[in-house]
Each structure stands twice: as structure tokens, then as C-alpha cells.
Amino acid sequence: MDTQRSWGTIRSHRDALKFSEVHVDDQIYLPGSGLLAEVDISALKKDGDIATFEFEDRLGVPKEGFVVLHKGEFYAYENRCPHWSVPITDRNELFHDNIGLIICPLHGATFEMNSGTCISGPCEGDALVSMRVEKAKNLVSVYAKGLKFM
């Protein structure tokens, strides 16, 4: 992962706002990329295993997310299908197949486990809201990605 930090200025009609922008693998993230949750992953042993967590969005609205294990990597998403905003998981159960697809239990939309992109179903082309993860021993720290450009 290639990470760089730079400084910039956003000018509004009222004043100038200083910000620190972070470049990660050709994408730019702005502030607001704070820690959402720390999730115990000790029980996640095989592909498709998940752990759910609760967090608050930037407006303080309570939400639920999940961390999923896929091919030795951990991915985090908001627990909401982009089609009808229904939960993707049900009581720590994730509907998935053996080739790395997450399946919405309501309408059968299928999402790639490693990107959250919907590849078939009523929301094809949309994606689950993804979050950045950092693994440390039996914990995964989940972060908001902030505003993304590029």
C-alpha cells in the first residue's frame, strides 16, 4: 500500500479551511476518516466468517457494520444493501457462496467480498459502503474512509 500525506487549502466564500489529505493507492482521503470500531476477530477462521459491530456515522446516526474474512484478508462494510437499505447479515450469519460473493438475503443481489461491488441483481454497479481496516493480533480497527476523490 502506497501512502503519502500532503497539505492543501480549500477556499470557500467565507474563509479558507486547512486540511491534510492522505493519498492511498491512487485515492485521496480527507479528514473525517476516524476510528469507528475495534472488532474482535479471534472467531473468524474460514472464508465468509463475519463479526458485526455498531458505529455512528458522521451525523451521529447509529449504524451496523460487519467485518468479513476472505482469502486471509479482512474487509469491512456497512450492513446495508444499496438496493433497499436492508441488512446484508442476519445475526452474525452472512449469506455467501464458496467463490467469494456476498448475497443479499432479500433480493439476491451479489457483491464481491473483496470490493463490495454489486455484480448482479437489482443494484448492479452499486457497491456496499466499505471501510478501511487495520489488523493487529485478534483485533481489526475499522475506520471511515472519509471523502474519496479520483
Residues 99-140: pLDDT tens digits? 788 888 888 899 998 899 999 999 999 999 999 999 998 999
Nearest alpha carbon to residue 134 among 43, 41, 70, 52? 41
Same-domain pairing of 15 and 48: no
Q: Does pLDDT of 72 surpass 70?
A: yes
Quote the percentage of the chain above a pLDDT of 70. 72
Assess if residue 150 is contained within a domain.
no
Q: Between the CA atoms of 59, 111, 65 and 145, what dihedral angle is there, to the nearest 10 degrees?
A: -50
Same-domain pairing of 124 and 77: yes
Tell me which residue has cell 502506497: 2
Same-domain pairing of 102 and 90: yes
Domain range enclosing 78? 35-145
Assess if residue 56 is contained within a domain.
yes
Same-domain pairing of 42 and 106: yes
pTM for this entry: 0.73
Residues 3-58: pLDDT tens digits? 444 344 333 333 333 344 445 455 444 445 589 999 999 999 988 888 999 998 87
Same-domain pairing of 11 and 41: no
Using only the alpha carbons of the chain, give its radius of gyration.
17
Q: Does pLDDT of 60 surpass 70?
A: yes
pLDDT value for 135? 94
Q: How many domains does the chain have?
A: 2
Assess if residue 49 is contained within a domain.
yes
